[in-house]
Structure 1
Amino acid sequence: MENLQTYLKWVIGLLFTLVIIGAGIMIWNQTQPMMQMANRQAAEQAQAIADDEYSAYDYQLVSGSQVLTAVRRYAMKEVFYIYVKTNTSEFGVRLSDAATTCPKFDYSSGTIDTSGITGCYTTTKEMMEISDTDYVPPQARFRSTLLRDGNDRITGIYFRQQ
């Protein structure tokens, strides 16, 4: 009789433990889609916040002075490129003293060609010199386009004079 009571206690304890484990697994399985959705939304929010910095240049018409402001503003960013096409020339902008190369750029399509590099030799001083071939007229209108890499991260801006 005593063995039967011990056996019943052991079986009831085991069943109770299995019920608790089963309930935990069921709750875990139900929360997984919610956690994945929350993670996805958090990543989208983080991307939106990061992209918000560049919203003024997302396929907008900007003046030549705003082009120069963008060059000054993003001069300290690493792995960031600015390409400009005026009515007289096309060039990559050297944002810092160390950065003299940029990825190749197709000025007709407005896309980066990752297969090679090119020189980014134009400085802000040259862009402001009226006698320079790379002069950016402050009153001119430019269509700005954001450049993205394979990870959909903004890596530059392309300004094309209208």
Structure 2
Amino acid sequence: MNNAQSALKVAAGIFLTIALITIVVLLFVSAQEATKTAQNEFSSIQTELSKASFTVYDNTSVSGSQVINAIRKFFKQDQFGIRVVTGKNRAGKSDGNHYGYYVLPNGEIAGNNRNDSIDSALNESSDNYVNPSGKFKAKLIVDSSNVTRGIVFEQQ
């Protein structure tokens, strides 16, 4: 009789241990799924926030001072470029002046050369001078992954 009680106690202990391990595993799996969902949500929020800084330049008209501010803000970003077409540099059949990387219309970066100087945009005697009171049409350049790679400002 004593052996039977001991066997029942051991069996009950093993059963409870297995039940406890099962509960812990189920909780871990559900927590893991919740973590993956949270990561995906965080990633989409982060993408939206990174695009939000460019939405003001998405097919809108901006002033020359906003163009200069955009150049100062974005031209040193990695894998990003700004192209400004002014009334003067358009007359010379130029495709404008580039700040940061040279970005092709399809969003690809052309080469590793950067223009890290904004002096020509501020020099009134330059064909690339951005008149703060001028009006510019802004357009975003996105790559095949829908990542914003550049902004084109064309004087109206």
Shared fold (TM-score greater than 0.5)? yes
Query: How far 1:78 sits from its partner (Å)?
Result: 3.7
Amino acid in structure 2 at the alignment position of 1:12: A
Alpha-carbon distance change, 153 to 60 in structure 1, aligned in 2, over 3 angstroms: same
* 1:96-150 Cα shifts (integer Å, max 9, x gaps): xxxxxx34523xxxx3334x42865594332244443323333332222334456
* Deviates further, 8-17 or 18-27: 18-27
SS in 2 for 1:137: coil
**Counterparts of 2:97 and 2:151, CA distance in 1:** 10
Equivalent in 124, 130, 133 of residue 136 of structure 1: 130
- Residues of 1 paired with 2:18 and 2:116: CA distance? 71
* TM-score of the superposed pair, with normalisation by structure 2: 0.72
> Which residue number in structure 2 is paired with residue 99 of structure 1?
none
Percent pairwise identity? 25
Is it true that 1:113 corresponds to 2:108 in the alignment? yes
| Structure 1, 5-14 or 56-65: larger mean CA deviation | 56-65
Q: What is the CA–CA distance in structure 2 between the aligned matches of 1:24 and 1:84, rounded to whole Å?
A: 60
**Contact conserved, 1:83 with 1:93, CA < 8 A, in 2?**
yes
SS in structure 2 opposite 1:112? coil
Tell me the equivalent position of 2:121: 127
Deviations 1:19-60 (A, max 9, x none): 112222333344444332222222222223333333322332
RMSD: 3.1
Conservation of the 8 A alpha-carbon contact between 2:120 and 2:126: yes
1:19 partner amino acid: A
**CA–CA distance in 2 between the matches of 1:139 and 1:113?**
31
Where in structure 1 are there 5+ consecutive unaligned residues?
A: 96-101
1:93 and 2:98 matched: yes
Contact 2:63–2:135 (CA<8 Å) still a contact in 1?
A: yes
Q: TM-score under structure 1 normalisation?
A: 0.70
CA distance in 2, matches of 1:33, 1:18: 23
Aligned partners of 1:94 and 1:85: how far apart in 2?
Answer: 12
Contact in 2 for aligned 1:91/1:122 (Cα 8 Å):
no
- Residue 154 of structure 2 is aligned to residue 160 of structure 1: yes
Which residues of structure 2 form unaligned runs of 5+?
none
- Comparing 5-14 with 51-60, greater Cα deviation is found at 51-60
SS in 1 for 2:96: strand
- SS of 2:49's equivalent? helix
In structure 2, what is the Cα distance between the partners aligned to 1:54 and 1:103? Answer: 18
